[in-house]
Amino acid sequence: MNEGPEALDLRVETVTIVPVEGNAEICRLLLGTNVGIVGMSLCDKATGLIAAKLGNSAIAGKDPRAAPALYHALHAADAAPPAIAALDIALWDAKSKTEGVPLWRTLGGSRGPWNVMRGDAKGQAIHVQLEGNLDQDLERIAAAQSAIARKIVEPVIALTFPANWNHPDDAAKVIAHAQAIERHFDIAFIELSLPLDSTGAHLAIGKVIRAALCNGRGFGRISDFRPALECRALDGYLLDVDALGLTGAMVVANAAAAYDLPVLLAPSMGNLALHLCGAMPNFAFAMWDGRLTASGTGRADQSQSVPGLDATLGDDPGIGLEGFS
């Protein structure tokens, strides 16, 4: 008789939220089961309230090991993507804890080390948030490059354009700003804030900019990525696990792989997205999130080690958040 984890009668019983100590705007989403295993994820308070209500009405009584099927069912019901993402991560956490292995292993990945892109001089690549003022942006890039050049001879530089440059009509402004920057620096990636279905604007920018263009932060539906993929409008995709969930990120990464396109991981609360690095095809970089680690509220993930240039995942079961306060 099979007495392994797959034979366990496992069901979701309750979904609750608990504030993170020291940060009233961020909470832990806790997915309780009938056998005492608790799935966990991090989200903002507003998302947590929606996710808890959604979880108690839609996935209570379900087996969390069916995380992908539950994810697609929730999207078919047109639920809010960030709430679905929070539930999806907690379901995967419960699934991997049931197996007694870290999440990266359940996802089919490996421990690393994996390339991490940071906004300081501690990573293998530089991520610079632009403000839109050319002189100030050039100074910001130069300072970041100078700091990291002490350790990396040719660091990778990625830029994120202002979030309010988000209309197709902003394409000309993006082009002028990017071309001015490229006269001074060799840029690897440029993250745009345009709607993903603005394929004409993406293509126009891509024709004159040397850097690879990527987009995707904040988009939470798999279908959001279809127009850009079909038109080959981007050189890579930035996957936001806090919006897409783990299941959605894997689906989009596999779709991008069909076009031989790389994927990057947007900052995620607790840097939980790092578990995906080895499981996604054509993974390039993960952007580091300092929202929690810098606040003094605790370790973002006790299963993660970032000694400076990369991230190595540990062996704690699940996503490794048990030490989080």
- pLDDT-based confidence at residue 262 (cuts at 50, 70, 90): very high
What pLDDT is stored for residue 24 in this prediction?
79
- Domain 114-313 listed as CATH 3.40.228.10: no
d(CA 249, CA 251): 5
Pairing outcome for strands 125-129 and 156-160 = parallel
Q: Which sequence spans correspond to the domains of the chain?
A: 5-100, 114-313
Confidence of residue 325 (pLDDT cuts 50, 70, 90): very low
Q: Which CATH number fits domain 5-100: 3.30.70.2340, 3.30.390.10, 3.40.50.2300, 3.30.160.150?
A: 3.30.390.10
Give the pLDDT confidence score for residue 119 in this predicted structure: 63
- Radius of gyration, CA atoms only, the chain: 20
Determine contact, residues 174/163, Cβ cutoff 8 Å. no
Tell me the pLDDT of the chain averaged across its residues.
87
CA dihedral 287, 67, 83, 44 (to 10 degrees): -50
User: Is the preceding peptide bond at 168 cis, omega within 30 degrees of 0?
Assistant: no
Would the pTM count as exceeding 0.85? Answer: yes
- For residues 125 and 116, give the distance between their C-alpha atoms in angstroms, rounded to a whole number: 7
Asked whether the domain spanning 114-313 has the same topology as the one spanning 5-100, the reply is no
Report the amino acid identity of residue 196.
L
Range of lowest pLDDT (127-136, 255-264, 269-278, 291-300): 291-300
Query: From CA 12, how far away is CA 32, in angstroms rounded?
Result: 6
User: Residue 151 — pLDDT band, cuts 50, 70, 90?
Assistant: low
